[in-house]
Amino acid sequence: MRCVTPIGALCVVLGSCVSLGSGIIYAQTVRFAVIGDYGQSGAASSPAGRVAAMVSAWNPGFVVTVGDNMYGNTRTDWSALVGAHYGQFILRDPLHPERFLEQTSRVQRFFPALGNHDAEGNDITGYEEYFHLVPGGVGRLPAGSGGRGVHTRVADYYDFVRGPVHFFVLDSHHALTTPASMAAQKAWLQAGLAAERTAKWKVVVMHHPAHSSASHGSDPAMQWPFREWGVTGVLQGHDHAYERIVRDDLPYFVNGAGGAGLYGFRNPPEQGSLSRWNQSHGAMLVTADDRRMEFRFLSVDGDGQGMLRDSFVQTAVR
């Protein structure tokens, strides 16, 4: 899909934008939301409901989550706590659309990471069933660019590309609980990053934070050599707050303010912590083209579009 816009305008599609007379100005611009730690209430008036309404008002091209998509255990919990808010972004089962009626998207516009609450009792059957499995057919989440990626009942990690951004979605829950999964995911991520030749931005998405100043704090086991391997940004959850930390010129975002009860911050904060917010819930809105990537965190205060609490811009190295 292509769109024609005035010079300087952005196009929110998974395609290209061109000016009326001077060729391409923003190639493959994408605009997406990031939510985390949200699946606690299906009520529209709840913090999770208010965040979902704000995200819907943004009309993003797609949604990425940093885990803890659901704080429950049953199939009806997934529909009530996730689908009630974000079903319009989730690809419906093409063979059995009656399974989850709230899932209405004809293309996949919802890319979750697995959190510890999605694996209660170390069982991710509900997660796999709701987001990926198609009985008798091909799964709905990406199997990974070039066939990489794993979707089983004991692990879930994958990668996908949208415009100039290559996302690598890790399963930090199983990485932290199973040494074999930790080793497999490290090797998978390093190989995938090494093979990437065209994407301007390489973003890791995971639940447990490598760096955080909030209650759970930093997890040394997830402090992989991301920058050395070529990662340009890390999206994290688990701590119910927002924070931006820069370590060795690599930005780490904690984005766990999507609906669950908010956490306090430690004092002193993590080294490199540049922005923190825990006074109200919110989500991130990210825009990327081949020249720049802008990360914004907006809280549900103010009008339906949210109130800007932090912004950060990366410029691509030419």
Q: What does the radius of gyration of the chain's CA atoms come to, in whole angstroms?
A: 18
Rounded Cα distance between 207 and 288, Å, is: 22
Which tokens is 250 given?
């690599």
pLDDT at 95: 94
**Sole residue written with tokens 């951004």:** 165
The torsion angles phi and psi of 95, rounded to 5 degrees, stand at -95, -25
For the chain, 318 residues long, give each residue's pLDDT as a single digit of tens: 333 323 233 333 444 443 323 233 345 899 999 999 999 999 999 999 999 999 999 999 999 999 999 997 676 789 999 999 999 999 999 999 999 999 999 999 999 999 999 987 778 989 999 999 998 888 899 876 555 689 988 889 999 999 999 999 999 999 999 999 999 999 999 999 999 999 999 999 999 999 999 999 999 999 999 999 999 999 999 999 999 999 999 999 999 999 999 999 999 999 999 999 999 999 999 999 999 999 999 999 978 899 999 999 999 876
Q: Where are the domains of the chain?
A: 31-315
Rounded Cα distance between 148 and 187, Å, is: 11
pLDDT at 145: 55
Domain spanning 31-315, CATH class: alpha beta
pLDDT at 46: 96
Q: In terms of C-beta distances under 8 Å and separation of at least 24 residues, what long-range contacts does 85-92 make, across chains too? A: 85/38, 85/42, 85/48, 85/49, 85/52, 86/35, 86/52, 86/55, 86/110, 88/56, 89/62, 89/63, 90/131, 91/140
Rounded Cα distance between 248 and 234, Å, is: 13
Q: Helix count (H) and strand count (E) of the chain? A: 7, 17
Rounded Cα distance between 73 and 295, Å, is: 33
Going along the chain, which residue ranges are E strands?
A: 2-4, 16-18, 24-26, 30-35, 62-65, 110-111, 150-151, 156-162, 165-169, 201-205, 233-236, 242-247, 250-255, 273-277, 282-288, 292-299, 307-315
pTM of the model as a whole: 0.91
